[in-house]
Structure 1
Amino acid sequence: MTDNVDRTDESTTDGEPDVDALRTDLEQIKSAMAIEDRYPGQRRLWLVHGIIVGFAGVLTNVMFVYPWPEFVYILVWTAVFVLIGYTQWQTSVRTATTVDDPEPKPSWTVVFGTLVAGLFVLTAIVDPIFADVESVLQGAFFFSVAFTVLGMGYLLAGTILHAYRIRASDRYPFYVNGIWILAFAFVMPFVEWLQYVGYALFGILFFLHGAVTYYLLTYRLSG
């Protein structure tokens, strides 16, 4: 009888929830921040970046009608990537001194620097390979490489924001953007009509994603 009672007491004790662990989980949930609280202006950047990329995409296809020198396309999209990268980097790092982080976090400067370096390296690698390819297809391949790096950047940003305890609803747009951009980059060189109108379509889709995200985060999920 005594043994049975002892076993019952032990099983009851073992079956009790870990109060300290539950308290820690609750504190982590409560500490999850809206992205606008930590990075003021981030919601607006979704719309701003959408407008920039949307305009550049449509402009690229308009330039196809009146053939422009190749360097013009490079200048346009280089300016787009630099502008997006710089504004995003500024928004990400300028809060470093205003938000107290008791634990070490990934460096946004290193992340953005790595993506930029990776884009240059990949472009340099594929340049000789596609030197003799038809110009339209060559452009599609080069833009696919750039879009791939961009998509990876959004996926990486969403993952890093989790380390900064940004709430899930603010991270999902980064994941969604990264996934569809990677899918688009994958099919663009292999679908003939996308080689011609893919730039405008990409710009329009990017703008729609940015506008919808801005609306949802500002008017639906701002609480």
Structure 2
Amino acid sequence: MAAKHAQQKPSARLYCAGCVVLPPAFYDRDTLRVARDLLGTLLVRQSREGLTSGRIVEVEAYLHENDPACHAARGCTRSNRAMFGPPGRAYVYPIHSRYCLNAVTRERGTASAVLIRAVEPLDGIELMRRRRQRQTQRQLTLRELVRGPARLCEAFAVDRRLDHWDLTRGQRLWIGREATAGWRDEEIGQSGRIGVTAAADLPLRFFVISSPYVSGSRRSRPA
């Protein structure tokens, strides 16, 4: 399976060329574990416009129990159905005419997910810039391209058409791991989630302390 995915990467010059697509078993685990382990992996988007990729540096976990900020806290609806699985699917929801991307975790029916908040841009930076410049006349810096979940989705051309998408297929939208991916515990920060009023004190946000691409504060205790 890994060899099949490796053949799908278009060029050895790409950062994502050597990464292996994360399998369903990666997501079918405790949500907090998945959230932390996603740091350092590569988010990849292949579209007709071209390929973009970025190293994940900030995420937030949303839990199926005792988490009123979770979209599924009041049950399954048409708009949040993707959260109920199976694991490894994309849950994409709209916010202020933009979108946010989540990776669904745990077993089918559990309704837990990890929000991808920020990445370090790697492949297709000029394509990201063109997509983002459609919404602003100001010249964007590299740091501004994908800081925050809505900006990330805009730069990666992610919208509701990718809701329910299987992130483990290695096509259109996927997450992969490099051979050297991962961060030591002391390099990972943990804090409350951003823009959340309910359960705001829960330390469910994880980020790479040294990364300038993190969208919020990098002050925290080690995870």
Q: Tell me whether the two structures share a fold, i.e. TM-score over 0.5.
A: no
Quick check: which has more Rg, 1 or 2?
1
The normalised TM-score by structure 1 is 0.22
* Structure with greater helix percent: 1
The normalised TM-score by structure 2 is 0.22
For CA contacts below 8 A with separation 6 or more, give which structure has more relative contact order.
1
